[in-house]
Amino acid sequence: MRFKKIKIKDHKIYIEYELRNKAKNDWDQFSLACSDEPKPEFQVVLQDLSEDVIKMCELPEDYQKRIMVTGVSFSYGGDDEIMGATIISQMALNHSNINLNLNTPHKPSEPYSEGGDASQCLSADCIEHLTSLMLEAEDYVNGNRAQGELFQEAPKEETLEKKSDVVFS
């Protein structure tokens, strides 16, 4: 699974992703728009990207508390389909009723071609944050959300009256 977009807007999670179609040697595209709350970790890893927004947009560090990350757009380029990303966020302003929309510059995870400028790529910390977000998004797509698993195994009990190991909650 590879992601094209992960974002939160109006209390809804939007995820665009692709799955490799091995028979056609191509990517099949899917999208999800869901009101289910994500696991708390989803929000944490998304907000962890505020540190990267500050660095990539060359903003003062004390602005980080004003940054709210709302999403990431991913791309895949070059012969090796190298991942690139743009982080989408908003910054609270002191003298305005609305937030400032901030998009980081698009940066690849590594140079697209041999001899490219590695200093223009995503930092190792940012790649780690993006990877964590992708893992949380994959969990979300697979149904692992704030409400928990729909079917959980009940604790094993040694009684004759027990009829099922599954509890519906």
- pLDDT for 47-69, tens place per residue? 999 999 999 999 999 999 999 99
The rounded distance, in Å, linking the Cα atoms of 65 and 2 is: 30
Residue ranges of alpha helices (H) inside 85-160 are 124-141
Count how many domains the chain has: 1
**Radius of gyration of the CA atoms of the chain, in A:** 20
pLDDT of residue 149: 54
Q: Percent of the chain scored above 90 by pLDDT?
A: 70
150 pLDDT band (50/70/90 cuts)?
A: low
Q: Are 24 and 41 in contact (CB under 8 A)?
A: no
Q: Provide the residue range defining the domain that includes 15.
A: 2-168
> Using one digit for the tens of pLDDT, what is the confidence trace for 109-129?
998 888 888 889 999 999 999
